[in-house]
A and B are shown apart, each in its own frame.
Chain A
Amino acid sequence: MNIQFSPEKLKEVNELISHYPEGKQKSALIPILHIAQGEFGGWLDAPVMDYIADMLKLLPIEVYEVATFYSMLNTKPVGTYVFEVCRTGPCMLNGSDDIIDYIKNKLGINEGETTPDGLFTLKPAECLGACGYAPMMQLGKHYKEHLTRDKVDAIIDECRKNAASKN
């Protein structure tokens, strides 16, 4: 893969860097890693991190140590659709265990695994700030709330449809 931001993305990145004082460009690191993850396959491979380090004039280790600290930054490959289902107290009180079991059975994967077709990853999540709308999961940029088994079915169908239309 050619590791290089497109001109539009580069504009976005430079805009982010401009939010911080001269010489403090390191502050833009995490927001830029979000963009990089979106652009380069959903996770941060070492060459991607090196590219960012170079861009921000950082040592590669400064990027690695950040990428491994934050739960939203993936340092291993993930499926096209990552189901991040919250399982903390308030969601548990409203049946998140059942939703997680249902997804596991339906997709035939365990927590942290990806389906063989590379479409779905199940990633257990801790409280995502949607406790009043439980059970819930994060899917890409948005939250899916008030989950039921039927809703999970519909979400999976829609993902499959979207994936098929892209191929």
Chain B
Amino acid sequence: MGVKLLLEHANVEGIRYYDTYRRVGGYRAAEKALKMSTADVVEEVKKSGLRGRGGAGFPTGMKWSFLAKPEGVPRHLVCNADESEPGTFKDRYLMEFLPHLLIEGLLISSYALGSNHTYIYIRGEYAWIVDILNQAIAEAKNNGWLGKNILGTGFDCEIYVHRGAGAYICGEETALIESLEGKRGNPRMKPPFPAIQGLWMRPTVVNNVETLAAVVPILNMGGDEYAKIGVGKSTGTKLLSACGNINKPGVYEIDMTIPVEEFIYSDEYCGGIPKGKRLKACIPGGSSVPIVPANLLFKTAKGETRYMNYESLSDGGFATGTMMGSGGFIVLDEDQCIVRNTMTLARFYNHESCGQCSPCREGTGWMYKILKNIEYGKGKMSDIDLLWGIQKTIDGTTICPLGDAAAWPVAAAIRHFRDEFEWHINNPDESQKHNFGLAHYADPRPVPAAV
């Protein structure tokens, strides 16, 4: 069994409620933090090596230290609970089952940053979770953890839940801020960064749900101890939401030292692939990260074991590696069609583009159209190079990273599965009846004996 820091008490009956959460040690970290200086709390987070869990992996302590503190200007902490990256559903799990862990993390972080009004921006579809969070906030307030002069420290804090209305782009932090101001979710040009001018042009820190929840174990055990878990710059534990063709989809907490192969096949985690099928490909960090075929998943190009952490997953760059991303772990078995999968993702990004920059607005639509043609037997061989050209034009030329996020899945699918695209184009009729199959994307595991 791996270390459990976030989900340790996830299965305790009634953990959603204050009394139970408190009984198993909840709000101890807050108690401790509120007795420390704010600078010392930031220092613990820095020492922990915690990296943002929203996708980009930026060191949290460093981000916090960039926050501007002009005299007389309020500052804000905003919790990013927009969770919309396909494959990702870990923040939902934390909020649904362990709401007080998030509230405690928010309280500590608000104290460290000096935010008296902290907002949780939650995707609108998670409507029932809004009630769960509001209930937890009310309980925390009744017990003196929120409101005025918390624990006699003179620190005031209110946490408000703000419901979005369905737009992936509002997960991007500046779009989120625009949306929180009651506008369309159009990302802002950076600089200025939110740490200088964010919500209502005030200094703002935006952090992911899981990042803020991780502040609780960090304060409990101390930053140095937290940093001892994991390997290299991948410290602490990470939540992964596993889905696709696996026996046990769900949310798992891992310390970042387990091999990818173990994560897929161990009964403690995904439990292998249903019906004895073989593995074809995997998108290990949410739909934006490059898809990798089975033969590059368990071993790096150098032939070393690949592990579930930031460095190992990205080993080899985009040529042979991928990314940890948001932890949305998507598994494709031998029967799946790469073209169809890529097409649905292209449609997703096209649907979610805010439309501000033309390479993203036009490019995502164009890629979706071409992929749809190929998928439905109307593709031309020149389409593959055209797709490659379009994704290259988008990559790095847009206001926000959604453009890149739309380009990478298409690029990776062509890079590793070009022959499957060609087969679709050369066999328009046959490709409507069955899928290309595993072909030579060698599943490194032998065919299970039972099949």
Which of B1-9, B84-92, B219-227 lies at the interface?
B84-92
The answer to whether A92 and B84 touch (CB under 8 A), given A30-B165, A66-B184, is no
Q: CB-CB < 8 A to B348: which residues of A? A: 88-89, 126-127
Cross-chain contact B245 with A93 (CB below 8 angstroms) = yes
- Show 5 residue pairs from A and B whose CB-CB distance is below 8 angstroms, ordered by the A residue: A19-B162, A62-B183, A89-B330, A92-B340, A126-B352
Cross-chain contact A30 with B164 (CB below 8 angstroms) = yes
Cross-chain contact A28 with B182 (CB below 8 angstroms) = yes
Which residues in window 155-181 of B have CB below 8 A to A? 158, 160, 162-168, 179-181
In the complex, whether A65 has a CB less than 8 A from a CB of chain B is yes
Given the complex of chains A and B, what is the CA–CA distance between A34 and B180 in angstroms?
A: 14
Beta-carbon nearest neighbor of A63 in chain B:
B182
Q: CB-CB < 8 A to A31: which residues of B? A: 162-163
- Interface flags for A88-128 (1: CB within 8 Å of B; 0: not) read 11101110000000000000000000000000000000111
The answer to whether A132 and B242 touch (CB under 8 A), given A88-B348, A93-B330, A126-B352, is yes
Which of B45-53, B124-132, B399-407 lies at the interface?
B124-132
In the complex, whether A24 has a CB less than 8 A from a CB of chain B is yes
In the complex, whether A134 has a CB less than 8 A from a CB of chain B is yes
Cross-chain contact B87 with A30 (CB below 8 angstroms) = no
Most buried by B among A56, A88, A93, A142: A93
Which residues in window 322-365 of B have CB below 8 A to A? 328, 330, 332, 336, 340-341, 344-345, 347-348, 351-352, 354
Given the complex of chains A and B, what is the CA–CA distance between A90 and B166 in angstroms?
A: 18
In the complex, whether B251 has a CB less than 8 A from a CB of chain A is yes
- Interface flags for B242-258 (1: CB within 8 Å of A; 0: not) read 11110001110000000
Which residues in window 103-157 of B have CB below 8 A to A? 117, 119, 123-128
Closest 5 CB pairs of A and B: A70-B165, A132-B249, A72-B166, A26-B182, A71-B166
Cross-chain contact A19 with B160 (CB below 8 angstroms) = yes
Beta-carbon nearest neighbor of A30 in chain B:
B165
User: Contacting A126 at CB < 8 Å: which of B168, B181, B341?
Assistant: B168
Q: What's the nearest-Cβ distance from chain A to residue B350, in Å? A: 10
Q: CB-CB < 8 A to A19: which residues of B? A: 117, 119, 158, 160, 162
Q: What's the nearest-Cβ distance from chain B to residue A128, in Å? A: 5
Q: What's the nearest-Cβ distance from chain A to residue B276, in Å? A: 17
The answer to whether A88 and B287 touch (CB under 8 A), given A28-B182, A66-B183, is yes
Which residues in window 81-100 of B have CB below 8 A to A? 83-89, 91-92
Cross-chain contact B86 with A90 (CB below 8 angstroms) = yes
Cross-chain contact A24 with B200 (CB below 8 angstroms) = yes
- Interface flags for B61-80 (1: CB within 8 Å of A; 0: not) read 00000000000001000000
Q: CB-CB < 8 A to A21: which residues of B? A: 74, 117, 200
The answer to whether A127 and B85 touch (CB under 8 A), given A27-B180, A30-B165, A88-B345, is yes
Given A33-B165, A131-B88, 8 additional A-B pairs, CB 8 A: A19-B158, A31-B162, A88-B86, A88-B345, A89-B287, A94-B243, A126-B347, A141-B128
Beta-carbon nearest neighbor of A133 in chain B:
B249
Beta-carbon nearest neighbor of A56 in chain B:
B182
- Interface flags for B231-273 (1: CB within 8 Å of A; 0: not) read 0000000000111110001110000000000000000000000
Q: CB-CB < 8 A to B125: which residues of A? A: 72, 128-129, 138
The answer to whether A34 and B86 touch (CB under 8 A), given A132-B251, A133-B249, A141-B128, is no
Q: CB-CB < 8 A to B241: which residues of A? A: 131-132
Q: CB-CB < 8 A to A144: which residues of B? A: none
Cross-chain contact A129 with B123 (CB below 8 angstroms) = yes
In the complex, whether B185 has a CB less than 8 A from a CB of chain A is yes
Cross-chain contact B330 with A70 (CB below 8 angstroms) = no
User: Contacting A70 at CB < 8 Å: which of B91, B119, B164, B180?
Assistant: B164
Cross-chain contact B344 with A88 (CB below 8 angstroms) = yes
User: Contacting A90 at CB < 8 Å: which of B128, B244, B347?
Assistant: B244
